[in-house]
Structure 1
Amino acid sequence: MSSPSHVAETPITDRNELVATLASGEKPQAQWRIGTEHEKFGFRLDDLRPPTFDGDRGIEALLTGLTRFGWDPVQEDGRTIALLRDNASVTLEPAGQLELSGAALETIHQTCVETGTHLNEVAQVAGELQLGFLGMGFQPKWTRDEMPWMPKGRYKIMREYMPKVGTLGLDMMTRTCTVQVNLDYATEADMVKKFRVSLALQPIATALFADSPFTEGAPNGYQSYRSHIWTDTDNDRTGMLDFVFEDGFGYERYVDYLLDVPMYFSYRDGRYHDASGQSFRDFMVGKLPVLPGQLPTLRDWSDHMTTAFPEVRLKKYLEMRGADAGPWSRLCALPAFWVGLLYDDAALDAAWDLVRDFSLVERNVLRDGVPWHGLKLPFRNGTVLDLSREALKIAVAGLKRRAARNADGQDESKFLEVLQEIVDSGLTPADRKLALFHGEWGGNIDPVFKEFAY
């Protein structure tokens, strides 16, 4: 989830301006970049509890410690709630999950170095505070009530609104972590094709990265409970966006969708105004109840775009949102998977051929079934594992054709080796942790915090 947008406070007077915002994301292929984001759970080494915001070992102390590495603090009401450096940011999710939003980089090699540098910096400061960090899709031990809340204005508004529209929204806010990648498009037609391919294949990413099989110290019956949570968070702003596959889909149709997504807030004069459940369409004509007579700005629109949570989200780029967080290797594998599929023309064509005849029902069966069954979910004459094998093959070929090499001459396909191991074994990260839980961990979840910490 984002901090306040830094877009200019230009008033919006026409719907076409909203369409133009999306169109302004178009870039020639030579300027396509890769922006990787990931979240992680903090925990205290002595009792494994999540750190609060305040205190000598709190999240604010961690953020302050990270400033030694050249990060600039961002404050809200006098408290440090984020960091900025070199077009990247470190921000906080509602319960203090730490998020790196990486810079827009040219290669997976660069984004993996960025991720590693960040994790090393966090490890240094966290070690001094006797804290650790864990990459999984769902908090494996603590209850919702045991999770702390960060002092960010938008989270207070969302916390009060979520129970009105779903039963799991507060779990989404406090107990989930993801890894995602943000990718560019050249034209509206290119955006549409990438949007359709990535939506149809998002359940494949969910299966490959499934790593949230525990709730409150016990197996929960899911491969990706994080993914399941989105099915009962807020149906006005989540899901597979079936309209993306309809004839005529483009920027205008997506703007209409966003205009129908209920608002959360408007950030004005340094504070959040609670507009939860209100209409951006009313805002466009000066009839927003919380700000009567005022018109939205481009910053309001930019903020509003971040409050829709579909499986793939369009802003000035496409965001892949279907994967559980995990270890360093999978944080690099997620952007590699999607770059391999979407940034090479032959791969994009092959991926479209793979999914183009999926029906609306089949796409939603995949989305709803994968959180439970992962790679084992039946599909047509095979399983999701078979689909994953084909998608991975296309991605590997796409990265090899990209031929972006590091100093040792290795191309980016090396970052998919961890996914190849999953496909070859048929075992997801969730499967492997469940085997440890029922085996050498003796039914105790606590070892996960030691064995899988960064």
Structure 2
Amino acid sequence: MARDQTDTTPLETRDELIDYIAAGAKPRSRFRIGTEHEKFGFYTADCSPVPYGGDRGIEKLLENMQLLLGWEPVTDGGRIIGLLDPTKGGAISLEPGGQFELSGAPLETIHQTCREVNSHLAQLREVAEPLGIGFLGLGFSPKWTLAETPRMPKQRYDIMTAYMPKVGSLGLDMMYRTCTVQVNLDFESESDMVEKMRIGLALQPIATALFANSPFTEGRPNGFQSYRSEIWRDTDPDRTGMLPFVFDQGFGYEAYVDYALDVPMYFVKRGDVYHDVAGASFRDLMAGRLPQLPGVRATRSDWVNHLTTIFPEVRLKRYIEMRGADAGPWRSLCALPALWVGLLYDRTAQDAAWQLVRDWTAEERQALRDQVPRTALKTRFRNRTVQDIAREVVEIAYQGLVRRGRGHGGEANEARFIEDLREIAETGVTPADRLLAAYAGPWQGDIDRVFREHAY
């Protein structure tokens, strides 16, 4: 996640909260693609996790990345916890367990996204290899226990760590042991936002199945294809899930704001201090009656920060975030944005995607969400399987990318970026299936092989 905001503009009415989100609408000609991906750092010598401090820790890695890139440091309590690209808008940040995240700049094409991914991984390798550090893209930490996993010195994470066990049993696993890849997409109007949110929520389990890549826990198969996705089912019911109200007649900016207002807060940031208000109401902050901070009233940065602490399968801010996929190999870091751009940045494809899901019931959508983490493409749906749906979805996206016609370097479009997904949908073999076959076969149960054979 990017740096928490410090905009002190006061917020006094609910309409201002609605207007903030509504201001994200833009013409299609200005649509952009923002890709975020996380990865686990590990020491190549023994596949152990990388702590924050020390001569070969994540702090040193960030300092060396700053020297290489010239990006601006982000600090918390005087310690570096991220970097910002002052010219293009990208950022590097740390997740709670040291997962290294690139929040990509807003780009026009998947070709640009892939160049960004390539550049980032090459730069990271240049700095990490002398420190004996490698990086692995998996949805869930395959080897380390929660106790073995390092903790990053970020105040907001301290607050979340104390709060999570009060609202679910797997929240700390979510924070410290998961990695994802997601894409942020634009909308042109309120009605366009509504349709994209509905398509995104309905098809998020299909994306989870296609990108399922977290079948190991503490060195052994865990019985899931996407354990990362399963973890979100028992993290915090107040701020996660499939948002069935998005499909209600009349849904729009206003209804999402009301939902967000009902999600309990984690913190209020004033200056460099994060005040723990976990469980408190944003409405009380707006009224100046938070028990922990009497008289303190909401600012725009409080609202922006609060929106980042809501974790549904699809999240609305001034753009829409697709959040259902496990982290994976290099090709998946381009395939995930390509899938959603193909579905939602071409009008014909968007219409086809909506026709596919428009008659699915809330119960059916929830059943998919509940079952896909374990059975992925083999999950039954009506009289067919998720694999059947995935074939159709990937083909809609493929044709959408062809029609978009964004070429580069002799290529007419971006369609090749989802060729791997076409193979997964056609064969029914997920990334998790490939890992499990290797574990049972040539690896002979040695989980360290995943670090050595699948590192970036």
Q: TM-score under structure 1 normalisation?
A: 0.99
Q: Does the CA contact (< 8 Å) of 1:25 and 1:184 recur in 2?
A: yes
Q: Equivalent residues in 2 for 1:43-54 (5 A)? A: 43-54=42-53
Partner of 1:116: 118
Looking at structure 1, the residues matched to 369 and 57 of structure 2 have their Cα atoms a distance apart, in angstroms, of 37
Alpha-carbon shift at residue 73 of structure 1 (Å): 1.4
* Aligned amino acid, residue 399 of structure 1: L
Looking at structure 2, the residues matched to 94 and 220 of structure 1 have their Cα atoms a distance apart, in angstroms, of 22
Q: Equivalent residues in 2 for 1:83-162 (5 A)? A: 83-85=83-85, 86-162=88-164
Q: Does the CA contact (< 8 Å) of 1:2 and 1:306 recur in 2?
A: no
Partner of 2:229: 227
* Aligned amino acid, residue 71 of structure 2: W
SS of 2:212's partner is coil
Which stretch of structure 1 is more off in the superposition, 60-69 or 217-226?
A: 60-69
Deviation string, structure 1 residues 271-323 (Cα, Å, up to 9, x no partner): 10001000001111111112111110000000000000000000000000000
* Aligned amino acid, residue 299 of structure 2: T
Whether 2:347 is the aligned partner of 1:345: answer yes
Looking at structure 1, the residues matched to 104 and 197 of structure 2 have their Cα atoms a distance apart, in angstroms, of 21
Partner of 2:448: 446
Looking at structure 2, the residues matched to 27 and 290 of structure 1 have their Cα atoms a distance apart, in angstroms, of 38
* Aligned amino acid, residue 69 of structure 2: F
**Moved runs in structure 1, 4+ residues, more than 6 A?**
none
Alpha-carbon shift at residue 256 of structure 1 (Å): 0.3
* Aligned amino acid, residue 217 of structure 1: G
SS of 1:39's partner is strand
Partner of 1:75: 75
Alpha-carbon shift at residue 439 of structure 1 (Å): 0.3
Partner of 1:17: 16
Looking at structure 1, the residues matched to 113 and 269 of structure 2 have their Cα atoms a distance apart, in angstroms, of 31
Q: Equivalent residues in 2 for 1:203-282 (5 A)? A: 203-282=205-284
Q: Does the CA contact (< 8 Å) of 1:213 and 1:434 recur in 2?
A: yes
Alpha-carbon shift at residue 185 of structure 1 (Å): 0.3
Alpha-carbon shift at residue 69 of structure 1 (Å): 2.1
Q: Does the CA contact (< 8 Å) of 2:2 and 2:103 recur in 1?
A: no
Alpha-carbon shift at residue 25 of structure 1 (Å): 0.2
* Aligned amino acid, residue 414 of structure 2: E
Deviation string, structure 1 residues 119-175 (Cα, Å, up to 9, x no partner): 111111110100000000000000011101000000000000000000000000000
* Aligned amino acid, residue 39 of structure 2: K
Q: Does the CA contact (< 8 Å) of 2:3 and 2:74 recur in 1?
A: no
Partner of 2:286: 284
Partner of 1:357: 359
Deviation string, structure 1 residues 389-436 (Cα, Å, up to 9, x no partner): 000010001000000001222411110011111112210000000000
Q: Does the CA contact (< 8 Å) of 1:376 and 1:383 recur in 2?
A: yes
2:184 to 182, 185, 198: 182
Partner of 1:306: 308
Deviation string, structure 1 residues 359-409 (Cα, Å, up to 9, x no partner): 011000110100000000011111000000000010001000000001222
Looking at structure 1, the residues matched to 235 and 75 of structure 2 have their Cα atoms a distance apart, in angstroms, of 29
Looking at structure 2, the residues matched to 149 and 49 of structure 1 have their Cα atoms a distance apart, in angstroms, of 14
How many residue pairs align between the two structures? 453
Q: Does the CA contact (< 8 Å) of 1:42 and 1:132 recur in 2?
A: yes
Partner of 2:170: 168
Looking at structure 2, the residues matched to 209 and 238 of structure 1 have their Cα atoms a distance apart, in angstroms, of 20
Which stretch of structure 1 is more off in the superposition, 336-345 or 288-297?
A: 288-297
Q: Does the CA contact (< 8 Å) of 1:347 and 1:398 recur in 2?
A: yes
SS of 1:145's partner is coil
Q: Does the CA contact (< 8 Å) of 2:2 and 2:92 recur in 1?
A: no
The answer for unaligned runs of 5 or more in structure 2 is none
Alpha-carbon shift at residue 72 of structure 1 (Å): 2.0
* Aligned amino acid, residue 74 of structure 2: V
Looking at structure 2, the residues matched to 290 and 343 of structure 1 have their Cα atoms a distance apart, in angstroms, of 44
Which stretch of structure 1 is more off in the superposition, 288-297 or 130-139?
A: 288-297
1:326 to 310, 325, 328: 328
Alpha-carbon shift at residue 80 of structure 1 (Å): 0.8
Looking at structure 2, the residues matched to 285 and 380 of structure 1 have their Cα atoms a distance apart, in angstroms, of 48
Q: Does the CA contact (< 8 Å) of 2:439 and 2:447 recur in 1?
A: yes
SS of 2:391's partner is helix
**How well do the aligned residues superpose, as a CA RMSD in angstroms?**
0.7
Alpha-carbon shift at residue 70 of structure 1 (Å): 2.2
Looking at structure 2, the residues matched to 21 and 349 of structure 1 have their Cα atoms a distance apart, in angstroms, of 27
Alpha-carbon shift at residue 2 of structure 1 (Å): 3.8
Q: 1:95 to 1:227 in 2, by over 3 A?
A: same
Alpha-carbon shift at residue 108 of structure 1 (Å): 0.5
* Aligned amino acid, residue 407 of structure 1: G
Identical-pair percentage? 61
SS of 2:231's partner is helix
Alpha-carbon shift at residue 215 of structure 1 (Å): 0.2
Deviation string, structure 1 residues 245-265 (Cα, Å, up to 9, x no partner): 000100000000000000000
Partner of 1:420: 422
SS of 1:185's partner is coil
The answer for unaligned runs of 5 or more in structure 1 is none
Looking at structure 2, the residues matched to 5 and 38 of structure 1 have their Cα atoms a distance apart, in angstroms, of 21
SS of 2:36's partner is strand
Partner of 2:61: 62
Partner of 2:5: 5
Looking at structure 1, the residues matched to 143 and 412 of structure 2 have their Cα atoms a distance apart, in angstroms, of 39
Q: TM-score under structure 2 normalisation?
A: 0.99
* Aligned amino acid, residue 262 of structure 1: P
